[in-house]
Amino acid sequence: MNVQHKKPSVLICSDDANFYVMLAYILAREGFQTTLVSESEVADQATIRPVTAIILIAAEDSGPMLRACAAIKGSDTTAHIPTIAVVSSGDYLALLKAGADENFVRPISPARLLAYLGSLPKDDANDVRLPDADEEARTFGPLSIDPGRRIVRYGDQETRFGPIEFNLLRCFLKAPGRVRRRSELIEAAWPSDHYVQPRTVDVHVGRLRRSLERLTGRTLIRTVRAAGYAIEVDERSG
């Protein structure tokens, strides 16, 4: 049976209509469908349609995009959606701390943005993505991961992680207890053509740690001073 696939949908939140028109044109040529949304409606719009990614365009006042990002990442329904911020250099860390999965400093390279979007799974309800042979679901005591859907389960609860946090978790779980240096985590979680600052790794590991704490009620990721991070899980019943 042939399956009709919809174009991957991208929500763009921007006060700059001209910038949106330019970006929408570039994305349309590459097969993306774009929708312009406001700060106040972006989180709600992301709950009523399959969305591949959300792009936040921060103007001189980054406050609206910070609020939009916090709303997206603060909801269990939308927190898993990759959220990209296009920012000035001064807003880089602020958007990361608010939950953005990736930041591009203006002026941006369309090729880099398209490469990042192309690397994301398309959240089309008609798409069935099976994990590779070496990416089957794995269990670590009460904790289990489903790589095909980026689902993490703990007991009878589950949550879906963003792509960077899930890749970090997979890296940690390849060898629980082993200390992972930032360079290893960068290689595991980001495309090879991305320059990633150590501080960016710390922000995403912190976000992963908090997500796991909410899910499990425990602190699973520990910081090893001057070395990196490690995860501690109980595999005895896995």
Q: Which two tokens stand for residue 116?
A: 């990042």
Whether 9-119 and 138-231 share one fold: the answer is: no
Q: Could you tell me which residues come within 8 angstroms of residue 75 by beta carbon, excluding any fewer than 6 positions away?
A: 43, 47
Give the domain ranges of the chain. Answer: 9-119, 138-231
Look-up of token digits 């898993």? 80
Q: Which two tokens stand for residue 121?
A: 């799974």
SS3 call for 9: strand
Topology adopted by domain 138-231: Arc Repressor Mutant, subunit A (1.10.10)
Please report how the helices 182-189 and 198-216 are oriented relative to each other, as an axis angle in degrees rounded to 10. Answer: 80
Sign of torsion over alpha carbons 18, 92, 193, 160: negative
* Residuewise pLDDT in 10s, the chain (238 residues): 333 346 788 999 987 788 888 889 999 988 888 999 888 888 888 887 788 899 998 777 788 888 899 888 888 778 888 899 888 777 778 888 888 888 888 888 888 888 888 777 654 433 333 345 456 677 888 888 888 778 899 988 888 887 888 889 999 998 999 999 999 999 888 877 666 778 788 888 988 998 899 889 999 999 998 899 999 987 654 4
Which pLDDT score is estimated for 238? 44
Which pLDDT score is estimated for 185? 93
Which pLDDT score is estimated for 193? 64
Is residue 107 reached through a cis peptide bond, with omega within 30 degrees of 0 on the bond before it? yes
Per CATH, the homologous superfamily of domain 9-119 is Response regulator (3.40.50.2300)
In terms of DSSP H, where are the helices of 34-145? 42-47, 63-73, 92-98, 110-118
